[in-house]
Amino acid sequence: MQRCRKCGAYSDHVNIHFDRMGICNYCGFYEKHRNVLEQKTALKNTFLLKMEIGKAKARTSGSSYDCLAAFSGGKGSAYMIWQLKEVYHMRVLAFTFGTIGHKGILDRLDIDHITFSQKGPFSYPAYLHAIDRHSYLIAGQNKIPLILNGRSRAKILQYADTTTGTEPFETAHCLREYDKQIFHGAGLAYPAYLSDGTDLLDDIGAEAISYFAYHDICEKDMIRSLEEKFGWIRPQRSHGPSGARSLSKKGELAFLVRKGELTPDQAEKML
């Protein structure tokens, strides 16, 4: 089986192909756009501008919140919500799909929180769509202009080989675009039944933004700062249907190799 000479990804990777030098399309994309993706200050400024525009829109529409933020109970979303509130001074409504046992951090930050659920069992695509759809519904009902998610950089960029539909180059402004972005990021084909469905909420507009597309912080620093500030303890349970994690792990590890944080051998051992 062919293997990328740079990141070590194999030819069974989602939609992978190789150039004459044996470098994969995902490494090619990362190299081409490294100057944007690693420009920390410029990315933070882009994010700040998006937040300020969101605040202005919320004031105009009379919304009680500037953004809706996904809270899974994991470190990424906890860190994001903390930063949204204390660094960007956003009025945040946090939401969780399903039940959650670990919301002390939201109480500490005095963040309003809602949970919602839908009867399962879910396939992984149906689960992803249900979360996206509910978030647009809530944003529409409350006139909230921004929907924030705490996907990791690896999740956002692991299968990126075009700037179209890829943050930070392009954001989604409706459920249809957001769904496509989330599916592409997870390495999944966009299910046809979603395109012809009547539940795509085309009348609701909100900008969907991934916090970590604009903030490059390593996992260790994130956990350490959460521990210091909140006495954070890593939740034990995993999120989403089983299998979802291992499905994406291969791509996420290849991304870390591309970025220079792991060697191909180290990534291989972690699988």
Which residues bind to Zn ion, rule: CB under 5 A? 4, 6-7, 9, 24, 27
CB nearer Zn ion, residue 132 or residue 252: 252
| Residue 26 beta carbon to Zn ion: minimum distance, rounded to whole angstroms | 5
From the list 28, 70, 192, 219, the residue with the least C-alpha distance to 125 is 192
CB nearer Zn ion, residue 75 or residue 184: 184
| Residue 112 beta carbon to Zn ion: minimum distance, rounded to whole angstroms | 43
CB nearer Zn ion, residue 4 or residue 105: 4
CB nearer Zn ion, residue 9 or residue 156: 9
| Residue 7 beta carbon to Zn ion: minimum distance, rounded to whole angstroms | 3
| Residue 270 beta carbon to Zn ion: minimum distance, rounded to whole angstroms | 16
| Residue 13 beta carbon to Zn ion: minimum distance, rounded to whole angstroms | 8
CB nearer Zn ion, residue 37 or residue 90: 37
